[in-house]
Amino acid sequence: MRVLVADDSAPSRAMLRSTLSRWGYEVVLAEDGAQAWRILAQLNPPPMAILDWVMPELTGPEVVRRVRETHREPYTYMLLLTSKNSRAEIVEGLEAGADDYIIKPFDQHELQVRLRAGKRIIELQTDLVRAREEVRVMLNNLQEGLVTIDFDGQMSSEISRAVKEWFGAPLAGENFAAWIGRNDASFGDWFSLTLESLKEGILPAEVTLSQLPASVKDNGKTYSVRYQMIAKPGNRTEQPSSERPAVPSGAPERGEIAAERILVIITDITEILSKNAAERHQTELLQLFQQMMHDKTGFLEFLAEADDIVRSLRDGRDEGLDRLKRLLHTLKGNSAMFGMCRISEICHNIENKIAEEGEAQAAL
């Protein structure tokens, strides 16, 4: 592993280079803070750095601060080498972003142990970056869209490519409800209200989760939306899901949420719905043809009666609400009997609408 040694003292650089080389490190040298910063600002800098505190151009803490401000990956482990031993000065170096420090004159065994600790941190950080990249590649190749949100609706930075292709990239600071609700306002409003209920703990989490909107429409497409709680670290309780209504054993009491985020799973079901509609249409045509062949006279009578009912409804010859309801009920039943399910469903929906409006007027 490469280690940058930055020290304006030639004897110190030589001693550290000899010691670190003996321990198996590849040493990169810098004579002052400015040179150290240029090396660490490169595309592939040494993953570890030993920086003298007092150097020309830039001090050790100043170099550390510049590196941390870039937020670059992979992570650089930085150790300050100093003769300062006051608590305030050590705190200053650590607040600048240094990972550790060692006071001169130092014990070589102590330095070796601190470098081993730094090496472990670098290896763990490298594994984390690699794992995150693997997750990103996986997300970008999924057919489903995945987003994780907190209980304020704020999204994590990892959003699968499919979701961005479907709904466009979210704006800076835009929450999930506002993003998806751009072209489906009812989804956004419904989601926001239900999420607020989840935060308040009015009902058990699994009940509230099942009330979140299950579909969204955007640009002529329909998407199913499912939700899964993501457990807090160390919490082994099975988390509720919008697909699993049963209350898990050991579920939290009302007002408690044994999770820290929600996984949102979005699937484009437009083709599935279209295929189902086409299959249903074919089935209805087959049933209709079979009824015609089985009872041609009855089918012709049904068509004549249905035509008369539709004309009555269209021309306003309903003679009151009760007769309208009877006509709709007759048309619904006859349509179902002859396999015309869609007409039957339309009549059923109209009946429900009439009933709902009647209840609302009665309540007033």
Mark whether 156 and 132 lie in a shared domain. Answer: no
- Is the peptide bond between 11 and the residue preceding it cis, with omega within 30 degrees of 0? no
Residue 4 pLDDT class (50, 70, 90 cuts): very high
Half-sphere exposure of residue 4, counting CA atoms within 13 Å on the CB side? 29
Mark whether 118 and 14 lie in a shared domain. Answer: yes
Tell me which of 84 and 58 has the higher pLDDT.
58
Q: How far apart are CA 151 and CA 230, in angstroms?
A: 11
Mark whether 212 and 128 lie in a shared domain. Answer: no
Mark whether 337 and 302 lie in a shared domain. Answer: yes
Mean pLDDT confidence for 107-117: 88
* Residue 346 to residues 113, 323, 349, Cα–Cα distance (Å): 77, 18, 5
Tell me which of 240 and 283 has the higher pLDDT.
283
Residue 7 has pLDDT above 60, yes or no: yes
The pLDDT of residue 148:
87
Tell me the pairing of strands 221-231 and 215-218: antiparallel
Instruction: For residue range 227-250, list pLDDT tens digits in order.
Output: 888 876 555 444 445 554 443 344
The pLDDT of residue 359:
55
DSSP 35-70: HHHHHHTSSS--SEEEEESS-SSS-HHHHHHHHHHH
Residue 244 DSSP class: B
The pLDDT of residue 239:
47
Instruction: For residue 147, count other CB atoms closer than 10 A to its CB.
Output: 23
Residue 252 has pLDDT above 50, yes or no: no
Last residue of a domain, one of 94, 113, 137: 137
The pLDDT of residue 361:
56
Q: How far apart are CA 335 and CA 146, in angstroms?
A: 42
The pLDDT of residue 135:
64
Mark whether 180 and 235 lie in a shared domain. Answer: yes
Mark whether 48 and 173 lie in a shared domain. Answer: no
Question: For the domain that residue 169 is a member of, what is the CATH number?
Answer: 3.30.450.20
pTM of the full structure: 0.45
How much of the chain, in percent, has pLDDT values that exceed 90? 12
Mark whether 232 and 180 lie in a shared domain. Answer: yes
Mark whether 207 and 258 lie in a shared domain. Answer: yes
Looking at the structure of the chain, the number of domains it has is 3
Mark whether 185 and 203 lie in a shared domain. Answer: yes
Q: How far apart are CA 332 and CA 345, in angstroms?
A: 7
The pLDDT of residue 27:
92
Least confident among 17-26, 79-88, 215-224, 262-271: 79-88
Question: For the domain that residue 37 is a member of, what is the CATH number?
Answer: 3.40.50.2300
Cross-strand partners of 215: 224
Instruction: For residue range 301-348, list pLDDT tens digits in order.
Output: 877 887 877 777 777 654 677 777 888 888 888 787 777 777 888 888
Residue 350 pLDDT class (50, 70, 90 cuts): confident
Nearest residue to 127 via CA among 48, 74, 68: 74
Mark whether 351 and 236 lie in a shared domain. Answer: no
Q: State the residue range of the domain holding 349.
A: 273-363
Last residue of a domain, one of 268, 301, 327: 268
Instruction: For residue range 166-217, list pLDDT tens digits in order.
Output: 888 888 889 999 999 888 888 999 999 898 888 887 778 788 888 899 888 8
The pLDDT of residue 324:
77
Last residue of a domain, one of 137, 168, 190: 137
Residue 86 pLDDT class (50, 70, 90 cuts): confident
Tell me the pairing of strands 77-82 and 100-103: parallel
The pLDDT of residue 208:
84
Mark whether 36 and 105 lie in a shared domain. Answer: yes
Over the chain, what is the mean pLDDT? 80
Question: What tokens appear for 265 in the block?
Answer: 């799973």
Residue 29 has pLDDT above 90, yes or no: yes
Mark whether 122 and 13 lie in a shared domain. Answer: yes
Torsion of the alpha carbons at 111, 117, 119 and 121, rounded to the nearest 10:
-150
Cross-strand partners of 223: 216, 268
